[in-house]
Amino acid sequence: MSSQVVLDSEPLLETPAGDLMTVRDLIDRLGSISPDRIRLHPTPGTAVEADVVRLNEGKVGLFELIDGTIVEKAMGIFESRLAIVLSWAIERYLESNPIALTFGADAMFRMAMGNIRLPDVSVVLRSRFPGGKLTRVAVGAVIVDLAVEVLSPSNTRKEIDQKRRELFASGPQLMWVVDPADRTVRCYYSVDELVELTEADSVDGGALLPGFVFSIREWFAKAE
């Protein structure tokens, strides 16, 4: 890992939920995303966990619950492929180191503030589950130890910043933000502390997945 740790301290500005007056306020609150991704039924601000579970189980798309609003998850075909290849690499590591479980982009996790998020790849230590066994529930109430987001063209910086703050408030150890456009991976170790890697580097599992190393160049090559 050749890159150095830097601080990502760009301020996050958002409209408090109680001050929403216009559609623009709502869009800003959700991270300046495209309005095409915002669902109007249930009415924004009134949706609950059961609504997002119903939509996701209906296989009509992938949706997150953000401050009582249903938002479609952005994910293109290449982004999906990158997530699958990474999951394969982690699963291969876990075959001889069965310390965690890997989940795909349709796995729902409850954040500390009550939102429901769907990282593109999630890794959760087995010790988070009673007896090390997966709990059969629609929405995971466990801490996501590694959350991976593969950026799609419709993702915004503010949207990803908000998700990162939620994830770390809920207790993950690592978050990787993958940018397919320039083939970089921003590895966060806290809400603002990160290492930015290029194709010349490898991602590694650190203390979470000891010994796991995956070349970013190999990762993209396999995805293609």
Q: Please provide the DSSP assignment of 168-191 as one string.
A: HHH--SEEEEEETTTTEEEEESSS
Give the integer Cα–Cα distance in Å for 17 and 189. 28
Look at residue 125 and tell me if it is in a domain. Answer: yes
Please list, in sequence order, all residues whose beta carbon lies within 8 angstroms of the beta carbon of residue 194, skipping any fewer than 6 positions away: 5, 6, 7, 8, 186, 187, 188
Residue 154 domain flag: yes
Q: State the residue for tokens 């709990």.
A: 135
DSSP output for 6-58: EE---------GGG--SHHHHHHHTTS--GGGB--SSPTT---HHHHHHHHHT
| Domain assignment present for 45 | no
Please report whether residue 186 resides in a domain: yes
Residue with tokens 């924004």: 44
Residue 150 placed within a domain:
yes
For residue 151, being part of any structural domain is answered with yes
What is the domain count for the chain? 1
Q: pLDDT 10s per residue in the chain (224 long)?
A: 444 444 454 434 344 445 556 889 999 999 999 999 999 999 999 999 999 999 999 988 999 999 999 999 988 999 999 999 999 999 999 999 999 999 999 999 999 889 999 999 999 999 999 888 888 899 999 999 999 999 999 999 999 999 999 999 988 789 999 999 999 999 999 999 999 999 999 999 999 999 999 999 999 999 99
Token pair belonging to 84: 């699958």
Task: Tell me the residue range of the domain where 136 lies.
Answer: 5-9+74-223
Contact 30, 18 (CB under 8 A): no
CATH at residue 218:
3.90.1570.10
Note whether residue 83 is domain-resident: yes
Residues paired with 184 in a beta bridge: 179
